[in-house]
Amino acid sequence: MSVNAGDRGVWSSKLGFILAGAGSAVGLGNIWRFPTTTGKYGGAAFVLVYLLSVGLICLAVMLAELSLGRNVQRNPVGVYKGLAPGTPWKWLGILGVITGWGISSFYSVIAGWTLGYIYKTASGQFTGQSPEGIAQIFNSFVSNPVLVIACHAIFMFITMLILFGGVKSGIEKWSKILMPLLIVILILVVARALTLPGAEKGLEFYLKPDFSKFSGEGVVAAMGQAFFSLSLGMGTMITYGSYLSKKDNLVSSAVWVASLDTTIAIMAGFAIMPAIYAFDLDPTSGPGLIFVVLPNVFNAIPGGALFGTGFFVLLAIAAVTSLISIVEVPAAYFIDEMRMPRKKAVMIAGVGAFIAGIPAAVSLQFLGLMDTIFGQYSLIIGSLGVAVFVGWKWGISKINAELQEGNPNFSGQKIYGFFIRFVTPIAVTALLVCRILFPDAFN
Ligand code: PHE
């Protein structure tokens, strides 16, 4: 079945994929959620569990998604229809497409805030404000529906413009420009944070595990964070994998993406923890940390307006390279399954996500609800589904053959089989049960 071959596309090189894949993985999850949850769960102990989750549970799921995508060269629905025709497995793909819509709707709202904050920081609106004044600016900004919806619209529009360009001249081209820029800005912000007087206390909190502040809840939060951060469970990596060539080595590509994502999350902690401690702020203050706490820091340091603006530009860049990968999932579904031209597919996916995001734009509570349903439950269920599908339905010999394409010496079949059939499904089921039992762990 040749489906709009011209509208599907392929990456031009392995590097192109790695940067696009890392662009997807590195997002608000790394710069905003990772440091704030690390702060909430006692610093280094959380980081340790996070690293174990990435290595022992998530990497197997990433390999599974990339292999499925490259094998069938379709969106998630097309993949399950292709490999298990006439079975209910296609609903796992449909869940992914719906999740793409759900996440992109609220993700674009938060990404829109970063645009507002770039403007506010650059124009000196925080300068000379008291902490209460800064909190007040945040509250009045997020409760101004016109402004928030306008920023959400602009952000979604930029995302659609990139996606109009397709895989090579849209996603890949922009990832190649924006990811190096992100890394440069992050290094500058980290350097500034580490040289603040009093930074050591923050480093100690971040690097020296204190298990007395850690809990079962922290384990659950660390695992959930790892799936979100690696863009797993909704078919983003299936879709990006579907643009990979048979010549590429999937194992090393996945390891690259996971390592870049993890390194950048850890670096974001180095940017934020020292600053929090240098100013005696509360590392456990949750999501408000970035938008309410950090402007205080930028306010107080020399060159703060510049670094503050740089920081929010960093956040916006991280967000846009992720949002394109989220909207691409429904877009690829329309291209493959409904045979739509790319522009029309992107229009429907993007405008649909914009409209779906309006309730989240006007209500923080609704935004939190969308995050819980789509950013957490859906991704966990989707990851469990992928592991069970690959481990028990598609089968280890099939994925092994796919992993050997472009990597003929791959010999990890037994170990991989053990992880994807047992370790991952058991760990993810435990995560799902705990997520239900400890709802607070994710807020
Ligand atoms: N990984 C992205 C982040 O860390 C979010 C994301 C989730 C992207 C799911 C794609 C799919 O912000």
Location of structure tokens 């010549």? 247
Pick the atom of ligand 1 nearest to 34's CA.
Answer: 4
Residue closest via CA to ligand 1's atom 6 equals 231
Mean pLDDT of 129-145: 90
For the segment 111-129, what is each residue's pLDDT rounded down to a tens digit? 999 999 999 999 999 988 8
For the segment 25-48, what is each residue's pLDDT rounded down to a tens digit? 999 999 989 998 888 888 899 999
234 lines ligand 1 (CB under 6 A): yes
378 lines ligand 1 (CB under 6 A): no
CB 28 within 8 A of CB 111: yes
326 lines ligand 1 (CB under 6 A): yes
Segments forming the whole domain that contains residue 275 = 5-442
CA distance 12 to 274: 40
For the segment 203-248, what is each residue's pLDDT rounded down to a tens digit? 998 998 888 877 888 898 899 999 999 999 999 999 999 999 999 9
- In this structure, the number of other CB atoms found within 10 A of the CB of residue 152 comes to 26
Q: What is the CATH number of the domain that holds 20?
A: 1.10.4160
CA distance 325 to 240: 8
Q: How confident is the model at residue 1 (pLDDT cuts 50, 70, 90)?
A: very low
Looking at the predicted structure, is the pLDDT value of residue 89 above 80?
yes
Looking at the predicted structure, is the pLDDT value of residue 51 above 60?
yes
Looking at the predicted structure, is the pLDDT value of residue 320 above 60?
yes
Looking at the predicted structure, is the pLDDT value of residue 286 above 70?
no
Looking at the predicted structure, is the pLDDT value of residue 2 above 50?
no
Pick the atom of ligand 1 nearest to 322's CA.
Answer: 8
Looking at the predicted structure, is the pLDDT value of residue 180 above 70?
yes
What is the pTM assigned to this prediction? 0.95
Question: Which residues lie below 8 Å from residue 87, measured CB to CB, with a gap of 6+?
Answer: 80
> Looking at this protein, which amino acid is placed at residue 145?
P
How much distance in Å is there from the Cα of 405 to the middle of ligand 1? 27
- Identify the pLDDT of residue 442: 57
Percentage of the chain lying above the pLDDT 90 cut = 77
Best residue for ligand 1 mutational test, from 37, 53, 326 (most atoms within 8 Å of Cβ)? 326
Domain tally, the chain: 1
Mean pLDDT of 256-274: 95
DSSP letters of 209-255?
Answer: --GGG--HHHHHHHHHHHHHHTT-SSSHHHHHHTT--TTS-HHHHHH
Q: What is the 3-state secondary structure (H, E, C) of 243-302?
A: CCCCCCCHHHHHHHHHHHHHHHHHHHHHHHHHHHHHCCCCCCCCCHHHHHHHHHHHHHCC
